[in-house]
Amino acid sequence: MRHRKAGKELGRNPSHRRAMLRNMVTSLLKYEQIETTDAKAKALRPVAEKMITLAKRGDLHARRQALAYIQDKETTHRLFGDLKDRYLERQGGYVRIIKKGVRKGDGAAVSIIQLLPVEEGKKSGKRKVKKSKTQKASSGKAVDKTAEKKKKEESKPEQSKVDKKEEKK
């Protein structure tokens, strides 16, 4: 039975898998985009998001936890500086996985995993409300009627001005 054995093995023993994920997280945070297989990208996403969440916390203990996992001090400092500010308002979903295709040599499914850019970190809070078919039909007629009324009102003052000028002569 496979109880309490969460996560993918990725064809590696535990120490190799942990070292590989550490290397990949360090590279992802350093370059903001890496190319890897689908399975590795899916295993990498929760680890990378955990590191960004630690950076958002920002205290000394979180910094030391990140330094213990990320292998490059400069990358960790960058994470706690620039990247922290980028994702401060966002609650999760810092990483995107894009399917690229298959690798030529072995046919493995390849993906690009990347950190979300600054402009996509903030979404507009307003959503469009869908109208039912009856509301669309009635609102369309109402708009037409109001438009016609406005046109008539605009044309009437012009006519009255012309009439007034003729009456004066």
- pLDDT for 93 equals 95
pLDDT tens-place string over residues 91-111: 999 999 999 999 999 999 999
Q: What span, in angstroms and rounded, lies between the C-alpha atoms of 118 and 45?
A: 18
Name the band, by pLDDT with cuts 50, 70 and 90, for residue 121: very low
Tell me, what CATH number does 111's domain have? 3.90.1030.10
Averaged pLDDT of the chain: 85
How many CB atoms within 10 Å of residue 94? 20
Residue with tokens 């690229």: 100
Q: Is the separation of the CB atoms in 28 and 74 below 8 Å?
A: no
User: Do 20 and 88 fall into the same domain?
Assistant: yes
Residues 40, 63: one domain? yes
pLDDT the model gives residue 151: 61
Distances in Å between the Cα of 151 and the Cα atoms of 144, 148, 154, 155, 162 are: 11, 5, 5, 6, 17
Q: What's the rounded Cα separation, in Å, for the pair 46 and 39?
A: 12
Confidence class of residue 144 from pLDDT cuts 50, 70 and 90?
A: low
Same domain membership, residue 72 and residue 93: yes
Q: Tell me the pTM.
A: 0.69
- Structural domain contains residue 82: yes
Tally of structural domains, the chain: 2
Residue 6 lies in a domain: no
The pLDDT confidence band at residue 130, using thresholds 50, 70 and 90, is low
Segment 37-95, tens digit of pLDDT: 999 999 999 999 999 999 999 999 999 999 999 999 999 999 999 999 999 999 999 99
3-state helix, strand and coil shares in percent for the chain, rounded to the nearest 5:
60, 10, 30
The one-letter amino acid code at 118 reads: V
